[in-house]
Structure 1
Amino acid sequence: MKLISWNVNGLRAVLKKGFLATFTALDADIFCIQETKMHEGQAEVNTPGYYQYFNYAERKGYSGTAVFTKYKPLAVTYGIAPYFDDDEGRVITLEFPKFFLVTCYTPNSGGELKRLDYRTGWDEAFRAYVSHLDETKPVIFCGDLNVAHEEIDLKNPTNNHHNAGFTDQERAGFSVLLKDRFLDSFRHFHPTKVMYSWWSYRFAARSRNAGWRIDYFCYSQRLQPEITDAQILTTILGSDHCPVELDTTDALKPVETEEKAGAPQA
């Protein structure tokens, strides 16, 4: 089974840059996106054979997440209540028979770290949320988590030490999230490999590969026997992020239903 996660930095924008061709070519079983920057009815996303679920931010043109899945989930949840009151459309959770799938667009701490307190509160709440899910069944969570965990995960760690996404607080929060419960898939399979998933649009960062690894698939440790690989798809363009991929055995694949995938759900 193939799972894809991609911060598209504006779904309407990326639809004009070949998103549907990329979507079709990747042929994922579950395709998660972050930063849709749209509200219901602002764009038609034609993905035959997939159920669609959107979580929109109250603020127009901001944040937002979506999931496209070939398999109808048992249940769908939006946000992480009661752990955090989120009106920015940052999380969608799909429950399948053998696992929960969570896509997340973690808040950025912002310029001059003006939103760092909000961000650290979010990190604590998200950790409580996925840990609670994990008590019921294993969890796979993915998305733009807006943190480069270790120095290997960004091009210039010294210069960025106190910048959003590489503060001590954010890195420590991610360490606590993983500790004793979850695995960072890419780092598990590729412990010393240097690859990035986001490059600033400024200073020709992508052509110089001056990037950050801030997009993740993580999963409950007990799922490890069913996880086969993790990849960063750096050649795929269209956003300042590239997609990341998680591959699993078919043991996690939900049972197919005869019901045809229908219209978008919000």
Structure 2
Amino acid sequence: MTRLLAIAVLTMVAFASNSILNRAALTDGVTGPAAFAAVRTLSGALCLVALCALRHGLPRLFRPGRWVGTGALLVYMLGFSFAYVALDAGVGALILFGGVQVTMFAGALMGGERPHPARWIGAAVAFGGLIWLLWPAGTTAPDMGAALMMALAAAGWGVYSLAGRGAGDPLSETAANFLLAAPFVLLAWLILPDDIGTRGAVLAVISGAITSGLGYAMWYSLLPRIDASVAALVQLTVPVIALAGGALLLAELPTVRLVVASAVVLGGVAFGVLGSQRRIGSSGS
């Protein structure tokens, strides 16, 4: 249980770091979203394939259902990068993982899972915090176009996470998805060309090889061991980590609205995960 918790914490920190790294790269005035996504995906693919080769050989690229995970990863990578042109790190992460929650709860229901009532209540509270954040209120509401791009990324990440629940070899599966997605992200860069500076390239490589590649492999190792609804709820801790990181590293001072919305989201997550475990533990004693 301790090992599982440690993997979950490291994975959530990696997810939050992606938001901070992507936003930091785009603020230099040189690096564009298509370039960042391309370098991020390619560096993730190269790192993961190298690790697979050292461990047991190259990953198996083609298998039934492979394109579901690969396509979802592609949608996420592009939507994520383009959204951060206009969103702060914490706000983007909150929109992303709020949307992921909806996608994964829907997938859990379609897959036959029946979440505990506490998870439903926690999800409703957390999603309510997200709706409040996005509700137009002058200059405090996020840019709607960027928010829609992040919502698209959320759908992609939710499907990618659901596909990972059947991963037999997390490292190999993640490597194959990155390797197949890379040519399409590079094609998007050719169609929508933009520049990349030295600072942006370094941040993209760190995001691709470490916080994305290795982080997603950890996530795929975790997914088969937890319910989809729990996976959805746990990811809602990421925006708060990203919010703190953005404030410390990017000087993105959070508004009162964002802080309160994050507290509501965290409260919903805590109630949904801990409340359902307490109830299950009581019924089994």
What is the TM-score when the length of structure 1 is the normalising length? 0.26
More helix, by proportion: 2
More strand, by proportion: 1
Which structure has more relative contact order (CA 8 Å, sep 6+)? It is: 2
**Looking at CA atoms only, which structure, 1 or 2, has the larger radius of gyration?**
2
